[in-house]
Amino acid sequence: MKEKETIIVVGGGFAGLEFVKRLGNSSKYELILVDCNNYNFFPPLIYQVSTGFMEPSAISYPFRKILRDKKNVHFRLGALKEVVPSENKIILNNGILRYDILVMATGAETNFFGNKNIEKKSLPMKTISDALSLRNVILTRLDRATRLKDTQERKKLLTFVVAGAGPTGVELSGILAEMRSFIITKDYPELSIEDLGDIYVIDGLDAVLAPMSKQSQTYTHKQLSKLNVKIKLNTLVKDFKDETVYLSDGTQIPTKNLIWAAGVSAKIFKGFTKESYGHGKRLKTNAFNLVSGYENIYALGDSALVSGDKNFPEGHPQLAQPALQQAKNLAHNLNLDTQDWKPFSYNDKGSLAIIGRNKAVMDSPKHKYHLNGFIAWFIWIFVHIMGLVNFKNKVRTLYNWIGYYIYKDQSFRMIIKPSDRDS
């Protein structure tokens, strides 16, 4: 009887988990899923955790429970340090694993574009840890503001600058504006509307939601402006020091809060040649997701720069759908003889972004039609609930959103910090 081949999948995000689930219980392969966290989480809703509108467990779920019924799948908690292709092994921070096939699905990380001050002092929005840290910062600074008499210092604490006007930046600034309108003065009666600082969205491009249609951009700009969000376009954040955000147009914004949602890049790992990486630090692959220069290493999702798709000559967008579709295609191919493999072709299902309560935008593929307002908001709700990993998370999230829709409030605004003993 032929021994099963071992596939190691590094990264349990959209692509990695979908790939593992597709090959779960396969008679051909043993799979090992490696991740530095012991849980999968849903990045599109992380901004709601960061503002106390959702609890972390509503958008996350432990890998070991997800994979219980996959008899050929094992989970390894660990961080990838190095790949050794010549020996078919990877080196983790806690050991070594050997593979027949390696699948890199390591996702992306925050890109600070080389600015050390911004990297050190800004608040990123990429992981559950980032979201909890941001939640703690927002709530701590609100509480501190209630004790300050100096109006300028209070303004610094309560002014928020969001760098990046993509979906994350738009969604985050929108929910901060709703907090300012419906929640803050109720929770903090010591503060008045006049005490609250401004909310800024800064972007180097000439429109919010740049990849979406003109109609979506116009509607989003208008709705954010109605929420009193200050939008500065064609402008870059140049530096963040001395409790001041410095912009490329010469503007200086006194604040303690720079939230960084301005870009991502893939991760570089020791062991791959420089020629294997393309723009955005993504691993260059052929149309079958095979990494350039290797015979048994594949890349999926945000970490892959796939060639051969004529509709996306510069690579696919770093979104959930390309990652899921690539994982499905590769898993399907690995169950076939090589001559029957199908190249990856991305099926664009359109784009969605939420601005606030009853406010969202939706574009169909190639921007053939556009929706906004309540209908787009309702579709956004449905799509994101269905995207969660299990039924329990879907029910919990729906319950949370119904509560917020009725009462314009939620009850997850707790400051929870790890103790010194944990560190």
**Secondary structure letter of residue 280 according to DSSP:** G
Contact 222, 178 (CB under 8 A): no
420 pLDDT above the threshold of 70: no
CATH topology of domain 116-262: FAD/NAD(P)-binding domain (3.50.50)
According to the model, what pLDDT value does residue 423 have? 45
According to the model, what pLDDT value does residue 408 have? 82
Residue 188's alpha-carbon distances to 175, 283, 407, in angstroms, are 17, 48, 17
pLDDT band at 421 (very low <50, low <70, confident <90, very high): low
According to the model, what pLDDT value does residue 263 have? 85
Cα torsion for 396, 370, 300, 266, to the nearest 10°?
-90
Contact 353, 209 (CB under 8 A): yes
- Between CA 8 and CA 334, with CA 33 as vertex, the angle to 5 degrees is 50
Collapsing DSSP states into helix, strand and coil, what is residue 94? coil
Q: Which pLDDT tens digit goes with each residue over 204-218?
A: 999 999 999 999 999
CATH topology of domain 5-36+78-110+265-340: FAD/NAD(P)-binding domain (3.50.50)
Q: What's the whole-model pTM score?
A: 0.91
Mean pLDDT for the stretch of residues 265-271: 95
Q: What are the residue ranges of CATH 3.50.50.60 in the chain?
A: 5-36+78-110+265-340
Q: Which pLDDT tens digit goes with each residue over 1-35?
A: 458 999 999 999 999 999 999 999 899 999 999 99
The helix-helix angle for 374-387 and 391-407 (nearest 10°) equals: 150
Contact 363, 213 (CB under 8 A): yes
Q: Measured on CA atoms in the order 324, 325, 326, 329, is the torsion positive or negative?
A: positive
Cα torsion for 372, 377, 382, 383, to the nearest 10°?
60
According to the model, what pLDDT value does residue 1 have? 45
Q: What are the residue ranges of CATH 3.50.50.100 in the chain?
A: 116-262
According to the model, what pLDDT value does residue 85 have? 97
